[in-house]
Amino acid sequence: AQSVSQHNHHVILSEAASLELGCNYSYGGTVNLFWYVQYPGQHLQLLLKYFSGDPLVKGIKGFEAEFIKSKFSFNLRKPSVQWSDTAEYFCAAGNYGGSQGNLIFGKGTKLSVKP
Amino acid sequence: AAGVIQSPRHLIKEKRETATLKCYPIPRHDTVYWYQQGPGQDPQFLISFYEKMQSDKGSIPDRFSAQQFSDYHSELNMSSLELGDSALYFCASSHRSGGDTDTQYFGPGTRLTVL
């Protein structure tokens, strides 16, 4: 069955600390991978995406993610977090070029950044 | 840039009532997806439409129905509401016929509360 798992439910960091959020997927066929961020009370915003090509993808707000096919992983990283990064982060997977295209989300990781 | 519009933003209903949620996709987007996010949960895919035809179906209860109209907006109709239907309902849109086929952009959501 297709699934996305995020290792950490809640991560607490101080400002300027480095961040890595884990994401593993189980998906048949070629997969598209996404990270979305949901700030408190707001909707999902796309941080970055991987379709093909360079496995290191850069997104908005200084975030990046690395696709490691052998590990079925797509971990999100940021070298130095800010208080404004406090939010919930969702990893998601979808069919590559599929006619369906619905996303499967992980359970999310809450990030709290202490000022 | 124009985003996905959802209305209403908040809706309060009694058990056994009906509700209609509306979604207006980003201009020129031809595909609409509906997701349900329960409290503290990840978004769960309900149903999608491409070019006004149902494209895929997820965990949508039989009490719910949806359609996409000629102007590409979509409506989610929910009948015989239950307490467990209380959730945030997101709509997302993508441009399947275009170059950015598989990227879904989310609306702000409709928060439905069933009393």
Could you tell me the residue ranges of all domains in chain B? 5-114
| Strand pairing report for B87-94 and B105-106 | antiparallel
Q: Would you say residue A99 has pLDDT above 50?
A: no
| Residue that wins the pLDDT comparison between B97 and A63 | A63
The share of chain A scoring above pLDDT 70, in percent, equals 94
Q: Which residues of B touch A49 (CB under 8 A)?
A: 103
Note whether A19 and A78 are within 8 A (CB).
Answer: yes
pLDDT tens for each residue of B69-103: 999 999 999 999 999 999 999 999 988 765 555 68
Q: Would you say residue B54 has pLDDT above 60?
A: yes
Decide if domain B5-114 falls under CATH 2.60.40.10.
yes
Distance CA B21, CA B88 (A): 11
Nearest to B31 by CA among A11, A97, A84, A30: A97
A109 to chain B nearest CA, in Å?
Answer: 10
- Cα B80 from chain centroid (whole Å): 18
A21 to chain B nearest CA, in Å?
Answer: 16
Note whether B50 and B72 are within 8 A (CB).
Answer: no
Q: Would you say residue A30 has pLDDT above 70?
A: yes
Select the residue of A32, A44, A102 nearest B48 (Cβ to Cβ): A102
| Residue that wins the pLDDT comparison between B31 and A79 | A79
Mutate to test the interface with A, among B34, B42, B47, B105 (most CBs of A within 10 A): B42
CB contact under 8 A, B103 and A107: no
Say which CATH topology domain A3-114 has.
Immunoglobulin-like (2.60.40)
Q: Tell me: cis bond preceding B43? Omega within 30 of 0 counts.
A: no
CB contact under 8 A, B102 and A45: no
The 10 Å Cβ neighbour count of residue A1 is 6
Q: How confident is the model at residue A96 (pLDDT cuts 50, 70, 90)?
A: low
Distance CA A93, CA A2 (A): 9
CB contact under 8 A, A51 and B102: yes
Inter-chain contacts counted by CB atoms under 8 A, chains A and B: 64
